[in-house]
Amino acid sequence: MKFPLFASLLGSLLLSTVVLAEEIRPGVLRTPDSRFENLSGYDFEPNYAMVRGYRIHYLDEGPADGEVVLLMHGEPTWSYLYRKMVPVLNAAGYRTIVPDLIGFGRSDKPMSMDTHTYLFHVDAIAELLDQLNLQDATLFAQDWGGLIGLRVVAENEERFARVVISNTGLPAPTGSESGSSPAFQNWKAMNQRMIDNGDIPVGTMVSTSANDPSVKDAYDAPFPDPSYKAGPLIMPQRVPQSIDYPGAVANAAAWEVFRKWEKPFLTAFSDSDPITAGGHVIFQNEIPGAQGQNHTTIEGASHFLQEQKGEELAEVIVKFMQDNPL
């Protein structure tokens, strides 16, 4: 993930404006709808479901009888990230389901970091898919969307027909030492300082990585003040880096599923993401369904490639689905 120097981030923290939080019940916040008005390119109708006691928001666009593409965002983004891809997929005849993880976007926001465990988010998305009764879906996932989405696929194989991933992974360490990149270790240390300071400059981070200052306000919109940010703050610390981390054993079990996965599996990583560089190789080598696929590198894009190359990425998904029909 490409971020400015910590000094710049800390400056953004100090400049943040604190407003009165809207607590819908003790320990749970809900972002006012007014925060999401007039966002450029994002004029989709909201949909809501109750999941594990929280209201979760999702987009449901395109033909109701179309094949489903499930688009999963990561940390610290939300469904706004997919505004350039949804119209392309809909025009090709596909139905797009785009959830906001609990704690992100228009979904409810638990104030305690303890709520935001790996298992909590996996179970929440699995429950949403049960409610929507999705069948023969194609997953597209990036960042934490992949860590969560790939677990959901492995634990609910019958709901999925294909998988596409970008700039993500499924870490399943088996020893005491982490195999994560130095870039991720640096990001994790920077994130810990954010936790210590009680805030994370979401909009600044995403807009800087995407090299587009115009998107800053949209990524800040879900978080009126730092009390809303428990999810974005803690998620980098939840990535399993040793067998002792919660989620490591379940991820290893998911890998056993994928090492037998015959359904189509595609990687479409970007060329300029230091966090996940080279992460596509294990998927291409280990997953049977990845053999013979037209794996793609999206050029001229960093971590949030949906921002920089969203339309191109959507076309890659369309071609992959057309080349691998049900």
The tens digit of pLDDT for each residue in 103-157 reads: 999 999 999 999 999 999 999 999 999 999 999 999 999 999 999 999 999 999 9
User: Averaged over 174-201, what is the pLDDT?
Assistant: 86
Strands, DSSP E only, in the chain?
Answer: 23-25, 28-29, 47-51, 54-61, 68-72, 95-99, 109-110, 137-142, 160-166, 265-270, 296-298
The pLDDT value recorded for residue 22 is 85
Question: What are the structural domains of the chain?
Answer: 6-320 (3.40.50.1820)
* pLDDT at site 315: 98
Q: Per residue in 63-114, pLDDT tens?
A: 999 999 999 999 999 999 999 999 999 999 999 999 999 999 999 999 999 9
This prediction has a pTM of 0.93
> Order of strands, edge to edge, in the sheet holding 109-110?
23-25, 28-29, 109-110
Closest to 177 measured CA to CA, from 168, 186, 185: 185
3-state class (DSSP) for residue 324:
coil
CA–CA distance, 234 with 67 (Å, rounded to integer) = 34
pLDDT score for 5 = 43
Q: Which residues are marked as active site?
A: 143, 273, 303
